[in-house]
Amino acid sequence: MVAGMEPVPAAVIEGADRLQVISRFGVGHDNIDVAAATRRGILVTYIPDAMGDAVADLTLGLLLAIARRIPELDAGMKRGEWRRVMGADVTRKSLGIIGTGRIGMAVARRAGGFRMRLLGYDPHANPVFVEELGGEYVSLEELLAQSDFLTLHLPLTAETSGLIGAAELARVRRTAFLINCARGALVDEDAVYAALTEGRLAGFATDVYPQEPPGPHPLYALPNVIALPHIASYTPATAARMSQAALENLLAGLRGDLPEHAVNPEVTRGAGSTINIFAPEAKQG
């Protein structure tokens, strides 16, 4: 199975008698019940490094767009308005990067072009962030309090779910902007809505949602919110790299090999379990 963003719960896994490999077409695997797959001896793979540039590009695009109110003013022009309003500066401002893995580091490199002060929070510090990019690791509390812009680049786990909630938003500057191109459930939507409507947060830009597509929520109708339909990886070059990597992982698993990016490498497959995916009987399944 090549899995996109659709849920792959235990019920699906338990009911798929011939399933041997789940190859995730994406950077995360929180939509797959990995424990259920492991119990069944099903290998799960993912692609952690194929979309970093595209996600980092979009993150900087959203940062600039929310700071300078680009969508809001564009919509006004198209309604025939000539309304000139102040935006927020980006150059030399503080950028708090929560998660300094591949994508977080790619964002940091781009932000360096704006001479931004780079603050990082990550339980697994990357020395390159400090030594090459001039970043500074701080506690989450310090990062929230000192950042003009906050961007999330963490996987969704039991520990990170709801990471940015009411208590965290109470620490941020009233002039700060929050950008999320990671996972929607990292952020408490109700808490963000309250912070925006009460003037305790300047703006919010997101490409991801706790449920996709999202249900109705007043948050996404606010003028200082930018909401995109999870399109960070939607570029031709990124799609080609992801397609190639997903198929390579799938075929490696069917051959009995261990792909480089296996979520549950303890699952091993012998040569006797290999399927010829080009055989007529395989095509029927």
Q: Which two tokens stand for residue 154?
A: 């963490």
Residue of 230, 248, 255, 260 marked active site: 230
Q: Contact at 8 Å (CB) between 17 and 7? A: no
Return the DSSP state at 164.
Answer: B
The enclosing H or E element of 45 equals: strand 43-45
Q: Please answer whether residues 27 and 46 qualify as being in contact, where contact means their C-beta atoms are separated by less than 8 angstroms.
A: yes
Active site residue 153: no
**Among the options 6, 141, 159, 212, which is catalytic?**
212
Question: Is 109 an annotated catalytic residue?
Answer: no
Pick the catalytic residue from 183, 241, 261, 269. 183
Q: Could you confirm whether 212 is annotated as catalytic?
A: yes
What's the rounded Cα separation, in Å, for the pair 226 and 208?
Answer: 11
Secondary structure class of 2 (helix, strand, coil): strand
Task: Round to whole Å and give the CA distance between 123 and 106.
Answer: 18
Tokens read off for 20? 């041997």
Which active-site residues does the annotation give?
183, 212, 230
